[in-house]
Amino acid sequence: MGSHELTRRSGASAPQAQVRRSPAPPAYEPPAKAAKPERPALHDKAAAPVMVKMPPPAGVRLAQICWVLSLVVGAIAVGYLFVIRQSIDPDIEAIVREVDASRPAETVSTAADIVFWCVFGALVTVLLVQITSLVSFNNRRNNARWWMLGVLLLLAVTVLAARQFVAVGDRGVPLDRLLLIQLGLSGLGLLFSVIPAALRWTRRKHDIRRGSPGSPSAEF
Protein backbone atom coordinates (compact mmCIF):
# COMPACT_ATOMS: atom_id res chain seq x y z
CA MET A 1 0.00 0.00 0.00
CA GLY A 2 1.11 3.47 -0.64
CA SER A 3 2.07 5.90 2.07
CA HIS A 4 -0.92 8.12 1.27
CA GLU A 5 -3.38 5.21 1.91
CA LEU A 6 -1.70 4.28 5.22
CA THR A 7 -1.86 7.84 6.33
CA ARG A 8 -5.55 8.10 5.39
CA ARG A 9 -6.39 4.93 7.40
CA SER A 10 -4.41 5.99 10.45
CA GLY A 11 -6.27 9.33 10.54
CA ALA A 12 -3.11 11.47 10.40
CA SER A 13 -3.14 14.45 8.12
CA ALA A 14 -0.92 14.35 5.12
CA PRO A 15 2.04 16.70 5.16
CA GLN A 16 1.51 19.77 3.00
CA ALA A 17 3.91 20.50 0.19
CA GLN A 18 6.21 23.47 0.85
CA VAL A 19 5.69 26.39 -1.58
CA ARG A 20 8.64 28.61 -2.29
CA ARG A 21 7.75 32.31 -2.38
CA SER A 22 9.90 34.75 -4.25
CA PRO A 23 10.96 37.79 -2.23
CA ALA A 24 8.80 40.90 -2.69
CA PRO A 25 10.32 43.53 -4.99
CA PRO A 26 11.71 46.61 -3.21
CA ALA A 27 9.48 49.68 -2.98
CA TYR A 28 9.88 52.17 -5.85
CA GLU A 29 11.88 55.20 -4.92
CA PRO A 30 12.01 58.15 -7.33
CA PRO A 31 15.52 59.12 -8.39
CA ALA A 32 16.99 61.92 -6.35
CA LYS A 33 17.10 65.29 -8.11
CA ALA A 34 20.52 66.51 -9.00
CA ALA A 35 21.65 69.27 -6.68
CA LYS A 36 22.03 72.71 -8.26
CA PRO A 37 25.63 73.80 -8.64
CA GLU A 38 26.69 76.38 -6.12
CA ARG A 39 27.16 79.92 -7.33
CA PRO A 40 30.77 81.01 -7.49
CA ALA A 41 31.85 83.18 -4.62
CA LEU A 42 31.99 86.83 -5.59
CA HIS A 43 34.75 87.53 -3.12
CA ASP A 44 37.15 85.19 -4.86
CA LYS A 45 39.99 87.25 -6.24
CA ALA A 46 40.57 84.71 -8.98
CA ALA A 47 36.97 85.02 -10.22
CA ALA A 48 36.21 86.84 -13.45
CA PRO A 49 35.55 90.60 -13.14
CA VAL A 50 31.93 91.69 -13.12
CA MET A 51 30.66 94.88 -14.76
CA VAL A 52 28.41 96.83 -12.39
CA LYS A 53 26.57 100.14 -12.40
CA MET A 54 28.32 102.33 -9.84
CA PRO A 55 27.28 105.86 -8.93
CA PRO A 56 29.59 108.46 -10.47
CA PRO A 57 31.85 110.54 -8.25
CA ALA A 58 30.47 113.71 -6.74
CA GLY A 59 32.59 115.84 -9.07
CA VAL A 60 31.01 114.20 -12.11
CA ARG A 61 27.50 114.69 -10.77
CA LEU A 62 28.15 118.35 -9.97
CA ALA A 63 29.54 118.90 -13.47
CA GLN A 64 26.47 117.26 -15.01
CA ILE A 65 24.13 119.37 -12.87
CA CYS A 66 25.91 122.60 -13.83
CA TRP A 67 25.83 121.78 -17.53
CA VAL A 68 22.17 120.81 -17.45
CA LEU A 69 21.29 124.04 -15.65
CA SER A 70 23.38 125.95 -18.18
CA LEU A 71 21.37 124.34 -20.98
CA VAL A 72 18.09 125.25 -19.29
CA VAL A 73 19.13 128.86 -18.74
CA GLY A 74 20.44 129.08 -22.31
CA ALA A 75 17.17 127.77 -23.71
CA ILE A 76 15.26 130.36 -21.67
CA ALA A 77 17.57 133.10 -22.98
CA VAL A 78 17.02 132.02 -26.60
CA GLY A 79 13.26 131.94 -26.12
CA TYR A 80 13.27 135.34 -24.43
CA LEU A 81 15.39 136.84 -27.22
CA PHE A 82 12.93 135.61 -29.83
CA VAL A 83 10.00 137.09 -27.90
CA ILE A 84 11.54 140.56 -27.54
CA ARG A 85 12.74 140.75 -31.13
CA GLN A 86 10.23 143.37 -32.26
CA SER A 87 10.80 145.58 -29.23
CA ILE A 88 14.60 145.67 -29.56
CA ASP A 89 14.66 146.23 -33.33
CA PRO A 90 14.79 150.06 -32.95
CA ASP A 91 17.73 149.76 -30.54
CA ILE A 92 19.62 147.47 -32.92
CA GLU A 93 18.93 149.84 -35.81
CA ALA A 94 20.27 152.72 -33.74
CA ILE A 95 23.50 150.81 -33.16
CA VAL A 96 23.83 150.06 -36.89
CA ARG A 97 23.09 153.68 -37.77
CA GLU A 98 25.94 154.83 -35.53
CA VAL A 99 28.36 152.94 -37.77
CA ASP A 100 27.23 154.74 -40.94
CA ALA A 101 24.49 157.35 -40.65
CA SER A 102 24.36 157.90 -44.41
CA ARG A 103 22.76 154.54 -45.10
CA PRO A 104 19.05 154.52 -46.08
CA ALA A 105 16.50 153.25 -43.57
CA GLU A 106 15.84 150.08 -45.55
CA THR A 107 19.52 149.13 -45.50
CA VAL A 108 19.75 149.83 -41.78
CA SER A 109 16.70 147.67 -41.11
CA THR A 110 18.15 144.81 -43.16
CA ALA A 111 21.49 145.08 -41.38
CA ALA A 112 19.71 145.03 -38.00
CA ASP A 113 17.87 141.86 -38.98
CA ILE A 114 21.14 140.23 -40.05
CA VAL A 115 22.77 141.13 -36.74
CA PHE A 116 19.85 139.77 -34.75
CA TRP A 117 19.66 136.45 -36.58
CA CYS A 118 23.43 135.96 -36.47
CA VAL A 119 23.45 136.32 -32.68
CA PHE A 120 20.32 134.20 -32.36
CA GLY A 121 21.81 131.44 -34.53
CA ALA A 122 25.06 131.51 -32.56
CA LEU A 123 23.17 131.02 -29.29
CA VAL A 124 21.21 128.09 -30.74
CA THR A 125 24.43 126.55 -32.09
CA VAL A 126 26.04 126.80 -28.67
CA LEU A 127 23.10 124.94 -27.14
CA LEU A 128 23.27 122.13 -29.70
CA VAL A 129 27.03 121.68 -29.33
CA GLN A 130 26.69 121.80 -25.55
CA ILE A 131 24.09 119.01 -25.62
CA THR A 132 26.38 116.89 -27.81
CA SER A 133 29.31 117.50 -25.49
CA LEU A 134 27.27 116.59 -22.43
CA VAL A 135 26.24 113.27 -23.99
CA SER A 136 29.87 112.61 -24.89
CA PHE A 137 30.93 113.34 -21.31
CA ASN A 138 28.28 111.01 -19.89
CA ASN A 139 29.60 108.26 -22.20
CA ARG A 140 33.12 108.82 -20.79
CA ARG A 141 34.69 110.02 -24.02
CA ASN A 142 38.22 111.32 -23.54
CA ASN A 143 37.75 114.40 -25.72
CA ALA A 144 34.51 115.54 -24.05
CA ARG A 145 36.30 118.12 -21.89
CA TRP A 146 37.96 119.67 -24.93
CA TRP A 147 34.54 119.98 -26.52
CA MET A 148 33.25 121.65 -23.38
CA LEU A 149 36.18 124.05 -23.39
CA GLY A 150 35.43 124.93 -27.01
CA VAL A 151 31.76 125.44 -26.13
CA LEU A 152 32.77 127.71 -23.26
CA LEU A 153 34.96 129.87 -25.51
CA LEU A 154 32.28 130.03 -28.22
CA LEU A 155 29.68 130.95 -25.62
CA ALA A 156 31.91 133.69 -24.23
CA VAL A 157 32.32 135.25 -27.69
CA THR A 158 28.58 134.94 -28.33
CA VAL A 159 27.73 136.56 -25.01
CA LEU A 160 30.01 139.49 -25.81
CA ALA A 161 28.34 139.92 -29.20
CA ALA A 162 24.87 139.66 -27.66
CA ARG A 163 25.67 142.26 -25.01
CA GLN A 164 26.96 144.57 -27.70
CA PHE A 165 24.15 144.26 -30.24
CA VAL A 166 20.96 142.61 -28.91
CA ALA A 167 21.00 142.81 -25.11
CA VAL A 168 20.24 146.52 -25.23
CA GLY A 169 17.55 148.71 -23.76
CA ASP A 170 15.31 147.84 -20.86
CA ARG A 171 14.23 144.56 -22.46
CA GLY A 172 17.85 143.53 -22.90
CA VAL A 173 18.72 143.59 -19.20
CA PRO A 174 17.12 140.21 -18.36
CA LEU A 175 18.74 138.69 -21.46
CA ASP A 176 22.13 139.94 -20.32
CA ARG A 177 21.65 138.34 -16.88
CA LEU A 178 20.54 135.03 -18.37
CA LEU A 179 23.53 134.83 -20.71
CA LEU A 180 25.97 135.58 -17.89
CA ILE A 181 24.38 132.87 -15.73
CA GLN A 182 24.61 130.41 -18.62
CA LEU A 183 28.28 131.24 -19.11
CA GLY A 184 29.05 130.92 -15.40
CA LEU A 185 27.34 127.55 -15.03
CA SER A 186 29.13 126.20 -18.09
CA GLY A 187 32.51 127.28 -16.71
CA LEU A 188 31.70 125.84 -13.28
CA GLY A 189 30.76 122.52 -14.83
CA LEU A 190 34.07 122.40 -16.69
CA LEU A 191 35.95 123.01 -13.43
CA PHE A 192 34.13 120.17 -11.67
CA SER A 193 34.86 117.84 -14.58
CA VAL A 194 38.64 118.15 -14.17
CA ILE A 195 38.66 117.07 -10.52
CA PRO A 196 40.98 114.00 -10.19
CA ALA A 197 38.11 111.68 -9.24
CA ALA A 198 36.18 112.78 -12.34
CA LEU A 199 39.24 112.22 -14.52
CA ARG A 200 39.67 108.70 -13.12
CA TRP A 201 35.97 108.02 -13.74
CA THR A 202 36.39 108.92 -17.41
CA ARG A 203 39.61 106.92 -17.73
CA ARG A 204 37.99 103.72 -16.37
CA LYS A 205 35.41 103.60 -19.20
CA HIS A 206 33.50 100.84 -17.36
CA ASP A 207 32.85 100.06 -13.68
CA ILE A 208 34.31 96.63 -12.82
CA ARG A 209 33.92 94.99 -9.41
CA ARG A 210 36.47 92.56 -8.00
CA GLY A 211 36.67 90.85 -4.62
CA SER A 212 34.03 91.42 -1.95
CA PRO A 213 30.60 92.43 -3.29
CA GLY A 214 30.15 95.16 -0.73
CA SER A 215 28.17 98.17 -1.77
CA PRO A 216 30.37 100.62 -3.69
CA SER A 217 30.64 104.14 -2.42
CA ALA A 218 31.02 107.16 -4.62
CA GLU A 219 34.26 109.10 -4.47
CA PHE A 220 34.67 112.83 -4.78
Q: State the pLDDT at residue 30.
A: 65
Q: Give the start-to-end residue ranges of the domains of the chain.
A: 73-203
Q: State the pLDDT at residue 112.
A: 87
Helix (H) or strand (E) holding 50: strand 50-51
Cα distance between residue 163 and residue 78, in whole Å: 13
Cα distance between residue 15 and residue 7, in whole Å: 10
Q: State the pLDDT at residue 136.
A: 86
Helix (H, G, I), strand (E, B) or coil at 168: coil
**pTM for this predicted structure:** 0.67
Burial 72-85 (b: 16+ CB within 10 A, else e): ebbeebbeebeebe
Q: State the pLDDT at residue 177.
A: 94
Q: Average pLDDT per run of 10 along the chain, which is 220 residues long?
A: 51 54 62 64 55 70 92 95 90 83 80 91 94 86 85 93 88 92 93 85 66 47
The terminus-to-terminus CA distance of the chain in angstroms comes to 118
Q: State the pLDDT at residue 38.
A: 66
